[in-house]
Structure 1
Amino acid sequence: MNQDWRGAVIRRLLLLLAGCLLVGLISGEYAWSLVVGLAAYLGWTLAQLLRLHTWLKRHQADEPPPDGYGLWGEVFDNIYHLQRRDQRVRGRLQAVIDRVQESTAALNDAVIMLDSDGNLEWWNRAAETLLGLKTPQDSGQPVTNLIRHPTFKDYFEQNNHSEPLELPSPINDRLRLQFHITQYGNREHLMLVRDITRLHQLEQMRKDFVANVSHELRTPLTVISGYLETLLDNVDDINPRWLRALQQMQQQGGRMQNLLNDLLLLAKLEATDYPSDNQPVAVDLLLLSIKSDAQALSSERHHRISLEADASLKLKGSETELRSAFSNLIFNAVKYTPDEGEIRIRWWGDEQGAHLSVQDSGLGIEAKHLPRLTERFYRVDSSRASNTGGTGLGLAIVKHVLLRHRARLDISSVLGKGSTFTCHFPSTQVVKR
């Protein structure tokens, strides 16, 4: 209240007291005059307070407060101005909300808002097209009741949503959708769903093309390799000038055969999401066998290869696929570690799951190459890769095998000191003896 109104209130109280005293002077009852006067003022104040209470309890939206005068008139006026200001603010906020809803409604991608428990709060029209959501009957329903794929439930319940999830649409198997979830506010969720059917078809065409070409090339390559082997077995009957050419042809034919085998293995790994032969694998014995092969590969280079494996930990999965992944990591360490270098293989477990690390004392890898090492045909140094006879698919195979076993690969390296490749398997894949 400003200074003028304070003075006005004080003047009214003084006038009231003066009137009461005047009545007391006339009637001779000063005390009763003051009591009656103050009681009347108190009654009027309570009546105004009752009017305010009634208005607050029963008023409709945007209904102005009751009229008044004096102190209560100022109170009602201030309430009216606050009400008008709130209406303007609400109008601006509603305009912003309307624009946001209009813009999201125009998107081809689905936008779904979920509460902290995963219940549907709001969605745009694209969500109805892609996911089959219905307004208003699906409002408040758990999203896992409407998207019943088990993989989606696992993805939604986990805390890490950095990687998107790809699944077929729950209403049309021919549509391929990509789900991405972001948490905000009080553990609420914003889910974006994109139609990637075209991209999925292109990717599938690429996979089919690579698999078919690789398969078709095996037969002519086998024939060529067979004749080359026959010619080399009878090299005494051939002009000596052809010997080096035949040997190089056989060597390149072997490299091409390895490349086709790796491509076919990748195509097989991509064909399904989870190994069919899901049995507990004795990783310690598997690593012992791979270590023996690595020592044979090292041969005269005299690498120091050590193995530390927890025999009590088994791993659910495909032994063939795990052998392929682990041998790729260990054989790479042998190929890229200088003579008499050290290679340490370790298999252990903790509360997070089980882990395999392959550490070498090689040349190391620059940090800029680490994010792309698992890409197909990616070469850190093409000349070095050619010397080792690699196909450029080894780490891509490792990545796909680990994905099929719900694991991930971490790579750390320091130039001049070596590299460490670590496979992390979740506890759900681990079996203890």
Structure 2
Amino acid sequence: MTTLLKQELLRLAYILLVFAIPGWFFHISLQLVFLGLLVYLGLHLRSLHKLHHWLKANPTEPPPELSGIWEDIADNIFRLQKEELKAKQNLLGIIARARTSVSALEEAVVLIDSQGNLEWWNSAAEKLLGFKSDIDIGKPIINLIRDPSFIRYFEHGPYTEGLRLPSWSQPNRYVQYEVTRFGQNDRLLIAYDITRLHQLEQIRKDFVANVSHELRTPLTVLSGYLETFASNEELPPKWARAFKQMEQQATRMSNLVNDLLMLSRLESDNIKQEHKAINMTHLLEQLRLDAQAYDPEKQHAILVNIDSPLRLLGTENDLRSAFLNLITNAIKYTPACGAITIRWSNDEKYGYFSVQDNGIGIEPQHIPRLTERFYRVDAARSSATGGTGLGLAIVKHVLLQHKGILNINSKPNIGSTFTCVFARESLVD
């Protein structure tokens, strides 16, 4: 039994004894004991009233004069209040320092509540995003940044990658947005000024496109003369072999230039080609004929499975180029007399174009990087096949234009399956 409880029981016993002794003399013990209990209750009610008045009127002041267990309760409440106040002040200090630190950042930092409304932002956000603290606080962010791409990104994600867009408040500037969820669906938005990076990227694209374009004409002339010399039967064997090798390398360089030009076109933000419904049965039959003519000496079995009657909305030339890149890769890396299956199918959510082979396969560590430009699993092997190292990069960019993704499943010495996945809204009857 605690000391305070013992003291309170002794106090109650003392009060009852004080009232019980006179009652014994006057033969009214029960009445006076009951009166003593009322006095004891009144003392507690008086202490409770003092405690309530203190908590309501002056909780930051020292507690009133109390006794017994009420004094201990008041002292504990006062101690807890001081500790809470100290913790609150420490927390406010941490928040103030954090806000000062965030305000010093060059990146725009914006806190957005679970309803999508602006809660707080640093000074960089006012400069970069044009927010005004006196009128924009509490407004939905999508009412300020109204770009449809940003609205889709903000409302639906995914947030694994950032979003690059022209600045809505400053012409000729570009901003990258990155969103992170926290708490109860609150969001943290970080925005970067990537104008310089965008300009450098545009310079790179323009340089590649211009150089590739300028190389096309001289390469065409060189290829023409080399083909003429290589086909001349009067040349000595040594010279004929040299011209033949030069012709092969000129052809390879020409293919590289054509692939670079196509990549530059696909990357251009100004190219918005109209999507039309593509007859996939007809397209796959054309691809089968092209595949059979690509390397007939290997005698591959080219199979076509059409498991869907739906057509695909897109740019036929670009999709044909992407699909043909996947098929020619399968031909290059599948030994003679292998099997290659081209398939078009769909389910309730997606449409699938896939190329499956039983070739040499790919090690797992290479798969995430296959769509990078000029990435080669084996440089010697790729050179022997005459590849440019841009085929899968072209496939990736074509699929981006059609809101599709590329899935790769491969096992060494068993084979590979490359699958282009298209959203259901890209399919029509």
After TM superposition, the score normalised by the length of structure 2 is 0.93
**Aligned residue number for residue 123 of structure 1:** 121
Q: Deviations over 1:260-291 (max 9, x none)?
A: 11111000000027741211222232122111
**Aligned residue number for residue 361 of structure 1:** 358
| C-alpha contact 1:273 1:404 (8 A) present in aligned 2 | no
Query: 1:159 Cα deviation (Å)?
Result: 4.6
CA spacing shift, 1:7–1:112, aligned 2, 3 Å: same
| C-alpha contact 1:284 1:310 (8 A) present in aligned 2 | no
Query: 1:366 Cα deviation (Å)?
Result: 1.4
**Aligned residue number for residue 277 of structure 2:** 280
**Aligned residue number for residue 151 of structure 2:** 153
Distance 2:277 2:61 in 1: 73
Percent of residue pairs bearing the same amino acid type? 49
Distance 2:63 2:109 in 1: 41
- Report the 3-state secondary structure (helix = DSSP H, G, I; strand = E; otherwise coil) of the residue aligned with 1:379: coil
Query: 1:55 Cα deviation (Å)?
Result: 4.1
Distance 1:63 1:313 in 2: 78
- Report the 3-state secondary structure (helix = DSSP H, G, I; strand = E; otherwise coil) of the residue aligned with 1:277: coil
Q: Deviations over 1:166-206 (max 9, x none)?
A: 11222113222221222223222222222222222111111
- Report the 3-state secondary structure (helix = DSSP H, G, I; strand = E; otherwise coil) of the residue aligned with 2:114: coil
| C-alpha contact 2:12 2:40 (8 A) present in aligned 1 | no
1:99 equivalent to 2:97? Answer yes
Query: 1:73 Cα deviation (Å)?
Result: 1.8
**Aligned residue number for residue 47 of structure 1:** 46
The letter for the 1-side match of 2:288 is K
The letter for the 2-side match of 1:228 is L
CA spacing shift, 1:63–1:204, aligned 2, 3 Å: farther
**Aligned residue number for residue 258 of structure 1:** 255
Distance 2:139 2:236 in 1: 81
The gaps in structure 2 that reach 5 residues or longer are none
* 1:63-212 equivalence runs, <5 A: 63-212=61-210
**Aligned residue number for residue 35 of structure 1:** 34
Query: 1:26 Cα deviation (Å)?
Result: 6.1
1:339 equivalent to 2:341? Answer no
Distance 1:283 1:354 in 2: 11
**Aligned residue number for residue 385 of structure 1:** 382
- Report the 3-state secondary structure (helix = DSSP H, G, I; strand = E; otherwise coil) of the residue aligned with 1:413: strand
CA spacing shift, 1:144–1:101, aligned 2, 3 Å: same
Distance 2:128 2:424 in 1: 35
Give the count of matched residue pairs: 429
| C-alpha contact 2:300 2:337 (8 A) present in aligned 1 | yes
Distance 1:194 1:64 in 2: 52
The gaps in structure 1 that reach 5 residues or longer are none
| C-alpha contact 1:345 1:356 (8 A) present in aligned 2 | yes
Distance 2:409 2:303 in 1: 19
1:24 equivalent to 2:23? Answer yes
RMSD across aligned C-alpha pairs, in angstroms?
A: 2.2
| C-alpha contact 2:332 2:385 (8 A) present in aligned 1 | yes
* 1:216-235 equivalence runs, <5 A: 216-231=214-229, 235=232
CA spacing shift, 1:15–1:179, aligned 2, 3 Å: same
- Report the 3-state secondary structure (helix = DSSP H, G, I; strand = E; otherwise coil) of the residue aligned with 1:132: coil
- Shifted more, 164-173 versus 266-275: the winner is 266-275
- Report the 3-state secondary structure (helix = DSSP H, G, I; strand = E; otherwise coil) of the residue aligned with 2:164: strand
- Report the 3-state secondary structure (helix = DSSP H, G, I; strand = E; otherwise coil) of the residue aligned with 1:116: coil
Query: 1:337 Cα deviation (Å)?
Result: 0.6
- Shifted more, 139-148 versus 268-277: the winner is 268-277
Q: Deviations over 1:306-356 (max 9, x none)?
A: 111234222221111111110100111011110000111121111331112
| C-alpha contact 1:176 1:197 (8 A) present in aligned 2 | yes
Distance 1:154 1:64 in 2: 56
The letter for the 1-side match of 2:427 is V
Distance 1:230 1:51 in 2: 112
1:325 equivalent to 2:322? Answer yes
